A and B are shown apart, each in its own frame.
Chain A
Amino acid sequence: MQIVIIGNSAAGLSALSRFRSIDRESPITLISAESGTAYSKVLLPYYLRRKIPYENLFIRRPEDYTQAGIKTEFGVKVKRVDTESHTLTLEDGRTIGFARLLIATGSRPFLPPIEGLAGANVYHLWTLSDTEQLDSLFRPGQRALVIGSGFIALQAAWAAQQRGLKVTVFELLPRIMPTVLDDRAAAVLRQKVEEHGVEVRIGIHTEAVERTRKGLLRVQTKGHPPLDVDLIIVGAGVRPNTELLDGSPVQIDRGIPVDEYMETNVPGIYAAGDVARGPTAFGETHQTHALWPTAVEHGRIAGANMAGRSVPYQGSLNMNVTEMFGITVASMGKFIEDEGLTSHVIDEAGQSRYVKIILREGIPIGAVALGDADDTVILGRLRPWIRNQRSLPDVGGFLEGRYLLPRQVA
């Protein structure tokens, strides 16, 4: 049974190892548009700010692929998928047949429709080659504008600041990290960002980018004087890489919707990772998380089912953690107060510590923690409660580090 996996990253590699743990025999071809062995996207900002050396970006050695007994096609893009004849067409014209196919092509950054933005000196922090390019441009004294304030945008801002650049962050919405933090947490983080000398402007509408004769970028905004910078890093969201399916019967709807077996509407064709929209722990059927752990879980489920098992996915529980500007920021599940929800909050502004657990009828459904890494550990312990919908009667005690296990069990 010929297996083809498109994507040499979190989802594709997790599927590969799961598949191989069940089926040692079936031939597998792993295809990636990027050349070279797999690297970790999550680590790119760590390299950029010199926390880790370049070689630590790579999470596979060439021999890992040989040992897995697979054929690799790296540095070549898949152009088209023909579901009738079960073949793929590569950009160099070659075709590859498949019995089962996994699409783990991930996503790519989106360029907002700002006049003049597309062009020279505008970058993303998304791939290894983006990172290498930014690395060569990060010289002390350069001025950088970061458009967007999500996880990746702020990590780019921090790396740039750490490398001696003068950094400004623009966020269109009224607070930073709009999709990962609540208002209060965003305010605490913003203060940290600003303490590091990064200027943050929220609720700002970028109207146009002009290129001056000196090669600078002049950024025009509504209601503010123009800002001159040497480079712009755009972190304003991502779009799934689904072009290879254009014209095929595989359903696309802001990503590839998959069922609980990670299979698309076309039998034998699976999707996983950033490109896929799978079930969540909260019962939603099709969601994009664009997170590493979700991609790993997706891949594991897809790999098992492609190998003939019948393993349903329990649904993803979004979790996110990072350290930036000297503070650990973690969130998971649903963490915005809404009607019918209660919250338990620790807010020690003086120590830049903020922890919030959101509950629905006593059952935790999400949390945010800012401050020390110890609170991240507590959030990790909360995951089983959220997953298993166990009620947590003593939230205060839990936050103090008691109650490792649900009380009725202990």
Chain B
Amino acid sequence: MRIVEVDPTSCVACRNCEYACAFKQTGDFDIKDSNIRVNFYPEERACIPWTCVHCGEGWCMEVCPAGAILRNPETGAVEIDANHCAGCKMCLLACPSGSIHFDKVELVSKKCDLCGGDPACVKFCTSGALQFVEEEEAYSFRRESLDNKLKRLFGLNKRGS
């Protein structure tokens, strides 16, 4: 499957990805609605956009007490089925990277679904910091697999609890 790869060294913090994501979902530009979020590290003068990496065995999928989080067999994306989500927010608390958000209008949780296989954030990224690439090739600029990267960053196993 392909995922959104982030290269923090190229990000210029324009937040276009956030606008693109919000617009795609709501037809409006309120970046609070975005699923991708740009994180700022002022002292390091760094910024890292971050969105769901569609973990191999996502802890959100496992923990959802409604069985509402499933993998899309076509895109490989971990998706929330709004018709089955009860809005209990357990997944918000379970996700170690804060990639699940609450839809205050629909009262269900929501997250990146890779826009069905053509992510808007990547399309509108101004600096090339976001790329839509095969999972195995992602993060090759650091020559480590995504799982290892996650493990190092969060001290987690693939499952992510």
Report A289 CB to chain B, min CB distance, Å: 13
Q: Is A97 an interface residue (CB 8 A)?
A: no
Interface size band for B:
35 or more
Contacts A42-B88, A321-B93, A409-B152 known; A401 to B39 CB distance under 8 Å?
A: yes
Q: How far is the CB of B104 from chain A (nearest CB, A)?
A: 7
Interface residues of B in 76-90 (CB under 8 A from A): 84, 86-90
Question: Which B residue sits closest to A52, measured CB to CB?
Answer: B86
Chain A residues with Cβ under 8 A from B153's Cβ? 384, 405-406, 409
Residues of the A chain whose Cβ atoms lie less than 8 Å from the Cβ of B62: 14, 296, 300
Chain B CB count within 10 A is highest, among A14, A328, A405, for A405
Confirm or deny: A271 has a beta carbon within 8 angstroms of a beta carbon on chain B.
Answer: no
| Residues of A participating in the B interface, judged by any CB pair closer than 8 Å | 10, 14, 40-43, 46, 51-52, 56, 59-60, 292-293, 296-297, 300, 319, 321-323, 328, 330, 332, 373-374, 376-381, 383-384, 387-388, 390, 397, 401-407, 409-410
B41 at the binding interface (Cβ < 8 Å): yes
B86 touches A404 (CB 8 A): no
Q: Are B89 and A404 in contact (CB under 8 A)?
A: no
Q: Are A377 and B41 in contact (CB-based, < 8 A)?
A: no
Chain B residue numbers with a CB within 8 Å of A378 are 98
Asked if residues A296 and B63 are in contact (CB atoms below 8 Å), the reply is yes
B139 neighbours in A (Cβ, 8 Å): none
Q: How far is the CB of A351 from the nearest CB of chain B, in Å?
A: 14
List the A residue with the shortest CB-CB distance to B50. A404
- Is B117 interfacial (CB 8 A cutoff)? no
Is B65 in contact with A292, judged by CB distance below 8 angstroms? yes
Task: State A14–B98 Cα separation when bound (angstroms).
Answer: 24
Assembly CA distance A403 to B156 (angstroms):
17
B102 at the interface (CB under 8 A from A): yes
- Whether the pair B41, A321 counts as a contact (CB closer than 8 A) is no
- A376 and B89 form a contact (CB under 8 A): yes
**A52 to B68 Cα, complex, angstroms:** 12
Please tell me if the beta carbons of A384 and B48 are within 8 angstroms of each other in the complex: no
Q: Can you give 13 contacting A-B residue pairs, CB < 8 Å?
A: A42-B65, A43-B65, A46-B88, A51-B86, A292-B90, A293-B63, A373-B101, A373-B102, A376-B92, A383-B94, A384-B96, A409-B152, A410-B44
* Binary contact track B16-47/A, C-beta < 8 Å → 1, others 0: 00000000000000000000010111111010
Q: How far is the CA of A161 from the CA of B153 in the complex (A)?
A: 44
Asked whether, in the complex, the Cβ of B65 is within 8 Å of the Cβ of A330, the reply is: no
What's the least CB distance linking B75 to chain A, in Å? 22
Q: Name the CB-closest residue of A to B159.
A: A300
Nearest A residue to B101 by beta-carbon distance? A377
**Are A387 and B155 touching (Cβ within 8 A)?**
yes
B100 within 8 A of A: yes
Q: Which residue of B lies closest to A331 (CB)?
A: B93
Kindly list chain B residues whose C-beta atoms are within 8 Å of the C-beta of A52: 66, 86
